[in-house]
Amino acid sequence: MITASYKKYILNFKQPSGTSRGILKTKETWFITLQEGTKQGIGECGVFRGLSIDDRPDYQAKLEWACQNIHLGLDVLLNELVAFPSIQFGLETAFKSFLSEDKFEIFPSEFTKSNDSISINGLIWMGSEAFMKQQIKEKIEAGFTCIKMKIGAIDFQAEINLLKSIRKEYTLKDIELRVDANGAFSYSEALEKLKVLSEFYLHSIEQPIKQGQIEHMSLLCEQTPLPIALDEELIGIFDVTQKDMLIQTIKPQYIILKPSLVGGFKGSNEWVDIAEKKDIGWWITSALESNVGLNAIAQYTYTKQNSMPQGLGTGSLFTNNFDSPLLVKNGTLHYDNSKKWTFNL
């Protein structure tokens, strides 16, 4: 008989990382382990405090319930845990891991055989202009051709100056630039700011205004000179009909999927199906999971065969992450089979 247990784990950032929601020093995560004899399956429930819809006081109680009722099977558990997308993601991964010959090979593919890689963007964290410039230089030297910059925390003019200096040195052919505002703009100023930003030939802007302003976001997507990608907007929308209605109403240029926040692989697949039917672009990103969650997301992402740079590869941010075969080189994520996992809780 399969038994299940869970454990909390705190990831420590190598250096405090700035977002428009403040400075992150630690990241809480939880692991579900399935066991039957010597056979084991592992999944990560990457709750994101302050952002996840399942950041609730009863989170641990739900994990406890899931482990006690593991005999119900994955489909029943997923239906019961609709309001807890990160637990859904952890359970999906744990079951796949359990059924796999190698518990860390969740979706066997050319990627896990080390024969292919995934194109990813280089993430620039918020901070002083000098700190952001330094990160950009390092990413370009490391072979990235797509850079994602978080904006909205420092002075807008300073951010514009930074973009100006990047574009002076690197043309559109050299570097694809994405920006993520994390909802930092007010609606009244958003369109003007988008016009200014569009002068720097940006690929897209994520979530220019806070989620939940459906009509305002719809108007922005209609009028924008710069492609808009919905990110936080997708959080907390569980029903397929509601998902379809949201996309139909806003008509964004892109959507961004974080499996830990949108209901794991099943939830992500629903969003992808809706987007593709409406000719809307999409890509997948991790959400500060450990290498266990990142590994599951990367393997899943590879199966979707989307050639755009994906938002993966954050595993190097933490001092106490787990050693894994995941390796970033020349702006791509690889699975290096010569490297072994060290997963100790």
Active site residues: 150, 258
Burial state string for 177-216 with b = 16 or more CB within 10 A and e = fewer than 16? bbbbbbbbbeeeebeebbeebeebebbbbbbbbbbebeeb
C-alpha span between 196 and 179 (Å, rounded): 13
* Overall residue count recorded for the chain in this entry: 345
CB neighbours of residue 52 within 10 Å: 21
C-alpha span between 341 and 315 (Å, rounded): 13
C-alpha span between 3 and 160 (Å, rounded): 54
HEC assignment per residue over the chain? CCEEEEEEEEEEEEEEEEECCEEEEEEEEEEEEEEECCEEEEEEECCCCCCCCCCCCCHHHHHHHHHHCHHHCHHHHHHHCCCCHHHHHHHHHHHHHHHCCCCCCCCCCCCCCCCCCEEECEEECECCHHHHHHHHHHHHHCCCCEEEEECCCCCHHHHHHHHHHHHHHCCCCCCEEEEECCCEECHHHHHHHHHHHHCCCCCEEECCECCCCHHHHHHHHHHCCCCEEECHHHCCCCCHHHHHHHHHHHCCCEEEECHHHHCHHHHHHHHHHHHHHCCCEEEEECCCCCHHHHHHHHHHHHHHCCCCCEECCCHHHECCCCECCEEEECCEEEECCCCCCECCC
